[in-house]
Amino acid sequence: MNLTDLKPAEGAKKNAFRVGRGHGSGNGKTSGRGHKGQKARSGGGVRLGFEGGQMPLYRRLPKRGIKKKTHRNFVTIVSINVDRLNQFADGAVVTVDALKEAGIIRNPKDGVKILGNGDLTKKLTVQVGAYSESAKAKIEAAGGTAE
């Protein structure tokens, strides 16, 4: 097979239909836009959801839930598993800043919580906002402390 033998699939290529080219074409004069009116004008037409001045559906329906981020009354906690702490040296102090420098977290947001998935093999002093019960048990079982 050569590049010269390649052809587009049947029906894939379609010529652009040129409107306004005489009444014999069936789309001359008004170019398929009908007579007068907003949609017949250059640049005419209405935006999505416009109902001719009637109150649009999206404004008629009741709104539910929290809309603005400024009205949030909940905190965002970043959670990491205890096995991610194995990349620190034995006896190291693990803080939020240390986690950030190590690339484990990017943005601590409202705090960091250590979860108990995986195993910890190093003796570490961990100083973050919150721990799950299993994470605290694993840190202390490895000889470290969870402060």
The predicted pLDDT at position 58 comes to 92
pTM, two decimal places: 0.52
CA atoms within 13 A on the CB side of 134: 9
Domains of the chain: 78-146 (3.100.10.10)
80 phi, psi to nearest 5 deg: -135, 155
CA dihedral 5, 7, 9, 11 (to 10 degrees): -140
Q: Is 85 exposed, middle or buried (0-12, 13-18, 19+ CB in 10 A)?
A: buried
The mean of the pLDDT values for the chain is 90
For the stretch 54-84, pLDDT in tens is: 999 999 999 888 776 665 667 788 999 999 9
The predicted pLDDT at position 73 comes to 64
